Amino acid sequence: MLPVVLLLIIATAAGAAAWRATAAGERRAGGRRAVAGVAEEIREHTRVRSFVESRLDAEVATGLALTLALAVFTAAGVIVSLLALLVRRSEALSDLDAAAARWAHEHTSALGHDILSGISLLASTEGVIVIGLVAGIFEMIRVPSRWIPVFLIVVPVGDSLVTNTVKGIIDRARPAIDPAAASLGPSFPSGHSSTAAAFYAALALLAWRRRPAHVRNLLAGTAVGIAVAVACSRVLLDLHWLSDVIAGLALGWGWFAVCAVAFGGPIMRFGAPVEEAALHPPDARQREAGSARS
């Protein structure tokens, strides 16, 4: 049962970190108007006026959300690329992967194996379909949007296509401790980890809508905790290397960031950021601000 306890500790710590980060973001957002007031002076005297304008104006959905999503996707790409390079050339990473696999195999009991398998099922195809249907119906009733079904299809399907493409390119062998792993195809990155990261973040975003701040923070922490738990389960079941699941989490969160911006985040309408930018172009907002000052 030691691996299960370790999984719970790691997942809880990751969820708590996400909760704290989201709460900190909420507090910073609360002071956005004060920041925008200071930034107005910057905009009046620099050449980065349009950049600052687009990222500090609270009325534009592209602004900070687009910047953060780009940062997340870029970071995910860097992490996956570096790991893809290191898994072929770094003996230290190979030794770490092998050590984690051996430890999991030596300490997992039959009951622990069953528990880990159940956690892993949260990101299986069947699990995603059932949970997605239930959550989608609930959210359609709570805050209706015709884009919810599309969003819940695009996130996991797109993530699967991206992950399988990378798998085919890297073509890394799975751990050899469990013979069943060899029949599951290439190992890097972990598909279950990537799916869990993207899918549960998507569910958290849907449930995020029209919720108070403390609930939103809890949703973010829960989504991260579940994704990390699934990732840990894949390593502890000897079905993936440690580096596989790290890459999978990065890839899944990166893909979610792209989808979240494409659907306007809580607005939940495809193309919403572009529409908002068209309705509130920087030049128009600048003229309005100038008129207000005069």
* Residue 268: predicted pLDDT: 74
Task: Flag whether 1 is in a domain.
Answer: no
Q: Which domain holds residue 29?
A: 15-293
> How much is the mean pLDDT over the chain?
77
Q: Please count the structural domains in the chain.
A: 1
Task: Flag whether 94 is in a domain.
Answer: yes
Task: Flag whether 9 is in a domain.
Answer: no
pTM assigned to the model: 0.77
34 vs 46: CA distance, rounded Å:
19
181-201 pLDDT, tens digit per residue, is 667 778 888 999 999 999 999
The single residue listed with the structure tokens 């050590």 is: 99
Reply yes or no on whether the pLDDT at 144 is more than 50.
Answer: yes
193 vs 240: CA distance, rounded Å:
10
159 vs 192: CA distance, rounded Å:
10
Task: Flag whether 2 is in a domain.
Answer: no
Task: Flag whether 267 is in a domain.
Answer: yes
Task: Flag whether 8 is in a domain.
Answer: no
Contacts of 89-96 with C-beta under 8 Å, sequence gap 24+, read 93/243, 96/242, 96/243
56 vs 49: CA distance, rounded Å:
11
Kindly state the average pLDDT of the residues 39-49.
50
Which of 65-69, 70-74, 283-287 is least confident? Answer: 283-287
108 vs 130: CA distance, rounded Å:
28
Task: Flag whether 7 is in a domain.
Answer: no
256-267 pLDDT, tens digit per residue, is 988 888 887 777
User: How many C-beta atoms surround the C-beta of residue 169 within 10 A?
Assistant: 11
Q: Band of the pLDDT at 289, cuts 50, 70, 90?
A: very low
Q: Band of the pLDDT at 61, cuts 50, 70, 90?
A: very low
Kindly state the average pLDDT of the residues 77-97.
75
* Residue 104: predicted pLDDT: 78
The alpha carbons of the chain give a radius of gyration, in whole angstroms, of 21
78 vs 17: CA distance, rounded Å:
22
Task: Flag whether 3 is in a domain.
Answer: no
126-142 pLDDT, tens digit per residue, is 999 999 999 999 999 99
Residue 89 per-residue DSSP state: H
The larger pLDDT score, comparing residue 292 to residue 95, is at 95
